[in-house]
Amino acid sequence: MAEHAFEGSWRLLSRIDRAADGSMREEPTLGSDPIAMLTYANGSFAAQFMKRDRASAPTLAATHNNTGAVGGYDAYFGVYSVRADGMVDHNLLGALTAANVGMTFERRLKVEAGRLVIDLETATTSGEPVIRTLTWERIA
C-alpha cells in the first residue's frame, strides 16, 4: 500500500461540531476538548478519545457515521482504505462499544501546514445533522 501523508501518530488539538447554520454544538459524551490519540500505519488505524471531566460524561448510543462513547471514553481500531473520490473509509475490527464492531465510517482527511484535519458528517444526540472537524498535530 502506498504511504499517505496522514500516516503516523497524531494528538488532538480541537474537536468542533457545527450545525448547518454554522453555529457550534456541544457533544456531551466527549465534549469539544477531549484528550485523544490517533495512529495510521500500513492500512490500519487506532483511535482513543477521553473526555477531560469523565465524572460528567453520559453514556449514549452511537450516532450517524460515528461511534458511541462509554463513560467519557471511546476507542476503536481497524483498517482503512482511500476511495477514488478522496474519502477514507474506516472499517472497525474492534471497538469499546460492541455494537460498533464491523461498522464502516467515512471521513475526509487532509494534511495542511503539518496538521491533520478530519471532517465527517454526523449528528447530535438529538439527531440534528452536524459537521465534525477534528484537528490533529503530529506526534514527533
- When divided into structural domains, the chain yields a total of 1
* Structural domain contains residue 62: yes
* CA dist., res. 43 & res. 33, Å (int): 27
Q: What does the pLDDT read at residue 101?
A: 95
* Structural domain contains residue 24: yes
Per-residue pLDDT reduced to its tens digit, 23-47 = 999 887 888 889 999 999 999 999 9
Task: Determine the length of the chain.
Answer: 140
Q: What does the pLDDT read at residue 59?
A: 64
* CA dist., res. 101 & res. 10, Å (int): 23
CATH number at residue 53: 2.40.128.280
* Structural domain contains residue 107: yes
* Structural domain contains residue 55: yes
Per-residue pLDDT reduced to its tens digit, 96-112 = 989 899 999 999 999 99
* Structural domain contains residue 3: no
Q: What does the pLDDT read at residue 69?
A: 79
pTM of the full structure: 0.88
Instruction: Catalogue the long-range contacts made by 1-9 (C-beta closer than 8 Å, 24 or more residues apart).
Output: 1/42, 1/43, 4/40, 4/82, 5/111, 6/40, 6/88, 6/109, 6/111, 6/116, 7/40, 7/41, 7/42, 8/39, 8/40, 8/41, 8/138, 8/139, 9/37, 9/38, 9/39, 9/138, 9/139
Q: What does the pLDDT read at residue 64?
A: 67
Range of the domain at 68: 8-138
Q: What does the pLDDT read at residue 1?
A: 36
Per-residue pLDDT reduced to its tens digit, 69-89 = 788 899 999 999 999 998 999
* Structural domain contains residue 1: no
